[in-house]
Structure 1
Amino acid sequence: MTIHYKTRLTSIGPEVADLAEGGVLILFADGAPPELAEVSVLHAAEGPAGPPPAVGSTIRIGDLAASVTAVGETAWAKVTDMGHVVFSFNGASQADRPGEICADPIDGADLAAQLKSGTDIIIESAG
């Protein structure tokens, strides 16, 4: 198993649940400006990022898992440099935005339920 990224959620913005219900999750590293923190999940990475995930890699958010379907051209650089990424659980085969990672659809209510301080997000792949 290759771990591409592992982080722990530290704070959940007041507008995150509504976005999660729509299949969107925005991560920012701890210390994000307040206006960004309102719509974001703040997190603290627990180690260096590995190589970029390929299509078929797995995103684990607490007890949920989804397969990566597309990675935007600047998404991995933003994750590793700034701790910022937008996950879109829409099953798209091509990211609409360069900083986006797309994954298989998951239930928005289930996603929102996993988003609490202390939850781990892990991006991993077999091999």
Structure 2
Amino acid sequence: MLTKYETKINKLGPSVSEFLGEKMFILFGDNAPIELAEYCLLIDVNPVEGDIVVGDILKMGEKEYAITAVGDAVKKNLVSLGHITLKFDGSQSPELPGTLYLEDANITADIEPGSGIQIISK
């Protein structure tokens, strides 16, 4: 098992739960603009090892989700800004370049500051 990316959640914006109905989390580094930060999970900006591909696993806290599609700008945006959208709808084709698509899942805001986020290949 290879860890391609690892970070931690430093802060949850007060409006993160507004996107749960759309099955989305928005990640952003600590340099997020204030008007966006309230909707984001604020994370450390860290490098990505290798490419993120379909079949890799996103781990948030103790939960694991299969990656189903990867937008063209996901790696670049993670490395430069820590800013991508996680969409848990099972899409097979990446409609938006800055979005990482994951298996269809009901998500909840039961994550906490200090929780880890990893992308791993099995």
Category of TM-score, reference length = shorter chain: over 0.9
**2:14 paired residue number:** 14
The TM-score normalised by the length of structure 1 is 0.90
**2:106 paired residue number:** 107
Secondary structure of 2:110's aligned partner: helix
Give the whole-Å Cα distance in 2 for the aligned partners of 1:21 and 1:123.
24
8 Å contact kept, 1:62–1:119: yes
Residues 101-122 of structure 1: CA distance to partner in whole angstroms, max 9, x if unpaired? 100022223xx112x1000000
**Alignment: residue pair count:** 122
Give the whole-Å Cα distance in 2 for the aligned partners of 1:69 and 1:48.
21
Counterpart residue type for residue 59 of structure 1: L
Gaps of 5+ in 2: none
Gaps of 5+ in 1: none
The TM-score normalised by the length of structure 2 is 0.93
8 Å contact kept, 1:22–1:108: no
8 Å contact kept, 1:92–1:102: yes
Structure with the larger helix share: 1
8 Å contact kept, 2:71–2:97: yes
Give the whole-Å Cα distance in 2 for the aligned partners of 1:82 and 1:27.
9
Aligned-residue offset at 1:18: 2.2
Secondary structure of 1:108's aligned partner: coil
Residues 17-50 of structure 1: CA distance to partner in whole angstroms, max 9, x if unpaired? 12134310100001211101011110114x5321
The alignment's C-alpha RMSD in Å is 1.2
- State which of 103, 107, 114 in structure 2 corresponds to 1:118: 114
Would you say 1:24 and 2:21 are equivalent positions? no
Moved over 6 A (4+): none
Give the whole-Å Cα distance in 1 for the aligned partners of 2:58 and 2:38.
23
